[in-house]
Copies of this chain bind each other. A is one copy, B any other.
Amino acid sequence: MDIQNLIRQIRTRNQSKIVLLVADGLGGLPIEPGGPTELEAAHTPHLDALARNGVCGLMHPIAPGITPGSGPGHLALFGYDPTKYIIGRGALEATGVGFKLGPKDVAVRCNFCTLDAAGNIIDRRAGRIASEESAPLAIMLRQIKVPRVEIFVEPVREHRFVVIFRGDDLGENVADTDPQRTGVPPLDPKPLDEQSKWTAEVARQFVAQAQRLLANHPKANGLTMRGFAAAPRIPGYAEVYGLKAAAIAVYPMYKGLAQLVGMEVIGQPKTLAEEIDVLERAWGDYDFFFVHFKYTDSRGEDGNFAEKVKMIEQFDSIIPRVTALSPTVLIVTGDHSTPAKLASHSWHPVPVLLVADSCRPDHCEAFSEAQCIHGGLGQFPAMYLMSLAMAHAGRLEKFGA
């Protein structure tokens, strides 16, 4: 079933406000058998109160057993089938550094590499050159000119940077030029279809000019290109849901993902408290607010249980400022689990709570993985979260007479 197609047919508008609070990587695991998860170990009086007032459940970002990256994890939260809308790696990299991809853009992940005198690769990552050293080199490459194409070059970190070609007739299907081994030269950019011939030629000219500019650098005297990708064609929030949507995030990746679905990125917050400042100030101007909190995931990725617990407690502490705004629908969840025990994203379902006047209560007394098992929302694919949000906001009419 195409849930978004169904929503388009029955959506309506009103004055309701929906808030989606995302604690990245929220779900966890006990470190020891019988112990608590991070969320269970944390002191979260405000989240627990929400769990008592609302309805809880567990969400699968993609499907049971499938661990999502940030891209598919957020697309699912936003209501998109994450196996249908694929964000290519170049597009995700550009998004991650805050570059707003347009419809005429093809983005490419690039690596600085070290070439010998014969042009063969000695080091595929330019000795993992420091960001301080590589960023000026990437910026230097902005002087490259290719006819009929606008070129953007953005540093990422260490040996990585991203190049965006903007122009007409730029297909995205070009093979990687990284030969994946040393002792051979980088490959020529090879078009994989008729529509991508011009892109490959643009890439060839870019590489040729770049190698001249980089020739005298001891480490980063060459480059390889990978993951050519245009922005995915994703119908936006206004079109699908009829929502004027705002995104509030600290990290460029999440701003970028929100932009891909047509949310307006607002404010320049540096902390969670500042994110809530932005939310408060913009309250009258939007129907829907996505607020992203990064550090629950970061500490999980670090494998630091105690610090992830602290981040959850910090997240809990701002809840009263959100409820004070009286959103019609308040949702708290994550885009995936990041158990400190695994020090990585995982496939375990993500706790979710939804508070609205129209909730049917369950018996959850706290916001925790164990309680959510018994929650009234059951276990469901994350891509259905937005239809629940829309329903509780009174923004969906009856389907069929």
A399 and B62 in contact, given A34-B361, A370-B363 (Cβ under 8 angstroms)? yes
Q: How far is the CA of A346 from the CA of B388 in the complex (A)?
A: 11
Nearest first, the 8 closest Cβ-Cβ pairs linking A and B are A65-B387, A378-B379, A69-B400, A65-B391, A72-B400, A65-B388, A64-B384, A347-B391
Residues of the B chain whose Cβ atoms lie less than 8 Å from the Cβ of A68: 398-400
Q: Is the CB of B376 within 8 A of A374?
A: no
CB < 8 Å: which of B1, B71, B370, B397 contacts A63? B1
Within 8 A of B (CB), among A32-79: 33-34, 37, 53, 58, 62-73
Query: What are 23 A-B pairs at a CB distance below 8 A?
Result: A3-B63, A3-B66, A6-B63, A6-B66, A27-B360, A33-B53, A63-B384, A64-B380, A64-B387, A64-B391, A65-B386, A65-B391, A66-B391, A66-B399, A67-B396, A67-B397, A72-B400, A73-B400, A89-B401, A342-B358, A349-B378, A369-B376, A379-B380
Of A80-88, A175-183, A193-201, which binds chain B?
A: A80-88
Verify if A278 is at the interface (C-beta below 8 Å from B).
no
Instruction: Give chain A's interface secondary structure class.
Output: loop
Verify if A250 is at the interface (C-beta below 8 Å from B).
no
Q: Is the CB of B360 within 8 A of A29?
A: yes
CB < 8 Å: which of B58, B86, B388 contacts A64? B388
Q: Is the CB of B6 within 8 A of A62?
A: yes
Verify if A348 is at the interface (C-beta below 8 Å from B).
yes
Q: Is the CB of B370 within 8 A of A401?
A: no
CB < 8 Å: which of B82, B369, B374, B378 contacts A360? B369
Verify if A264 is at the interface (C-beta below 8 Å from B).
no
What 8 new A-B contacts, CB under 8 Å, besides A6-B66, A64-B391, A69-B401?
Answer: A1-B62, A30-B360, A58-B378, A69-B398, A71-B400, A347-B388, A369-B376, A379-B380
Q: How far is the CA of A387 from the CA of B377 in the complex (A)?
A: 23
CB < 8 Å: which of B1, B65, B377 contacts A390? B65
Verify if A373 is at the interface (C-beta below 8 Å from B).
yes
Residues of the B chain whose Cβ atoms lie less than 8 Å from the Cβ of A92: 400-401
Q: Is the CB of B361 within 8 A of A348?
A: no
Q: Is the CB of B362 within 8 A of A373?
A: yes
Q: How far is the CA of A10 from the CA of B346 in the complex (A)?
A: 13
CB distance from A339 to the nearest CB of B (A): 8
